[in-house]
Amino acid sequence: MFVEDGMGAIVLAVVYGFFFLSTLLFSAPLIAAVGCKWSLAIAITCYTGFMAAHFYATWGLFVPAAVFVGLGAAPLWVAKAHYLNLAAHDYSKLKGITKDAAASLFFGFFFFFFQSSSIWGNIISSQVLVPVADNSSSESLSYTSNNKDSLAQCGRNFCPQYADFNNTNLLQPLKSQLYMLAGIYTSCACIAFIVVLFLQQLPSEVNRKSNCWNRLDPKELFSTLRHLKDCRQLLLIPITIYHGMEQGFFISDYLQAYITCPLGKQWVGYVAICYGVVDAISAAFFGKLAQFTGRVPIMVLGLLSHLSLAVALLFVNTSNLQTYVYFVIAGFWAWVMLFGLPTSAVSAESSYQYYYMEESLRIHSFYGVLFKENSKAGFANFRMWQAVGPILSFGYQSQLCLPIKVYILIGTLIVGFAGYVTVEVLEKRKSITTS
């Protein structure tokens, strides 16, 4: 929403950067010290402060709030996953069912409400951000039809540093709208904090000395760095970074250049809902398809889909598009992102794996197969290099024009896929040699 000075993109880059640091260094000691319940409470407090910062969005307030929400994000997800895992284990003993069945039940309920929250959240934002033309209000803006010159700067021609702010779609929301939106989300966070206060400390959590949250193991950090000596890991770094870069591009560039600029902020939520619905349906379809085709055909199809979408973004003219086309593009993007961006793939093996439910389906599973003897270091590198992607995308979001960003994505994708193919060839030769 804060596009004139690039504050929104920079703040998101800060969030991702400190989320990465928190994942490695902060979440385990916090949970070991105060337990899951109070880790959740502390993390939600960080989120509440970030939402409340929207009431007075200045650099001096917003950036520190982004630091805290980044630090609180990892403990929130880890503590949530660990608490649900422990609760499921206790429930399995109580009901006499398997731990996997109980975990599937608990996490199924959680992700049902979690995924639905994106629908309700986007509906709220879309309704609140509807343009208002009220001549009686000194705060109201003149929302008139934007001329063709303004709309011609959207889509493929969009440059944040040269954006035409005579285009009313690119103006910040009215303060009354921003305050209402921030108030709604902050209130929800406060309610969540109150609910967490009523959580019970589970019997399984009372004695935490033997579980994985007991202490921060320096060897784990060093093993992550030592893992970079493996040439296969080095070859997978570009495609892992690409997955994160594309996520940042979708959030900061696609929604701004192709939705906000030509249509208005009130359409962003509806397009995001369309994306979410298609993503959920497609995830189930490709999960089954991969069982029959194997990994390589899916990866090749993913490469072609990603390249097709990137090239299309360079040629789509937003000046004369019908509104439904934006929803079609968003749906296709959701389909494409299944090859490299978040899908709710949840493993029931341990709470350590539950946390990473929002990771690349194909590449994440490839890491598991490739580095099965040192999976923790492999997955740690996956998280580390994937987090670099959004930091880069958000970092240069306000400095480069859209075509340059698309070319960067295409170049990174080609280099990354070449590295992936090289790893596949090396593994094939290795299997032939050993056999």
Q: pLDDT tens digits for 257-305?
A: 888 888 888 888 888 888 777 776 766 566 566 667 766 777 788 888 8
Query: Across-strand partners of 343?
Result: 359
- List all residues 6 or more positions away from 138 whose beta carbon is below 8 Å from its beta carbon: none
The closest alpha carbon to 247, from 348, 333, 128, belongs to 333
Structure tokens at 182: 């921030």
Q: What's the rounded Cα separation, in Å, for the pair 125 and 178?
A: 10
For 347, the 3-state DSSP assignment is coil
Q: Residues 40-71: pLDDT tens digits?
A: 999 999 999 999 998 887 888 889 999 999 89
Q: What's the rounded Cα separation, in Å, for the pair 424 and 435?
A: 16
Q: What's the rounded Cα separation, in Å, for the pair 387 and 219?
A: 21
The CA–CA distances, whole Å, from 211 to 94, 216, 353 equal: 21, 12, 14
Give the long-range contacts of residues 223-231, CB within 8 A, separation 24 or more. Answer: 223/374, 223/376, 223/377, 223/380, 224/24, 224/377, 224/380, 224/381, 224/384, 226/377, 227/371, 227/374, 227/377, 227/378, 227/380, 227/381, 228/381, 230/371, 231/426
Tell me what the mean pLDDT of segment 230-256 comes to: 86
For the ranges 120-129, 181-190, 316-325, 349-358, which has the lowest average pLDDT? 349-358
Say which DSSP state 165 is in: T
Q: What is the 3-state secondary structure (H, E, C) of 12-80?
A: HHHHHHHHHHHHHHCHHHHHHHHHHHHHHHHHHHHHHHHHHHHHHCCHHHHHHHHHHHHHHHHHHHHHH
Q: What is the CATH number of domain 229-435?
A: 1.20.1250
Q: Put residue 174 in one of left, alpha, beta given phi > 0 → left and psi -120 to 50 → alpha.
A: beta
Q: What's the rounded Cα separation, in Å, for the pair 264 and 186?
A: 24
Q: Residues 68-116: pLDDT tens digits?
A: 998 988 888 878 877 887 888 888 888 888 877 787 778 777 777 776 7
Q: What's the rounded Cα separation, in Å, for the pair 201 and 183?
A: 31
Residue 216: pLDDT band (50, 70, 90) is low
Q: What's the rounded Cα separation, in Å, for the pair 256 and 268?
A: 9
Are the beta carbons of 83 and 75 closer than 8 angstroms?
A: no
Say which DSSP state 371 is in: T
pTM of the model as a whole: 0.72
CATH architecture assignment, domain 1-131+146-154+162-202 = Up-down Bundle (1.20)
Residues of the chain with CATH 1.20.1250.20: 1-131+146-154+162-202
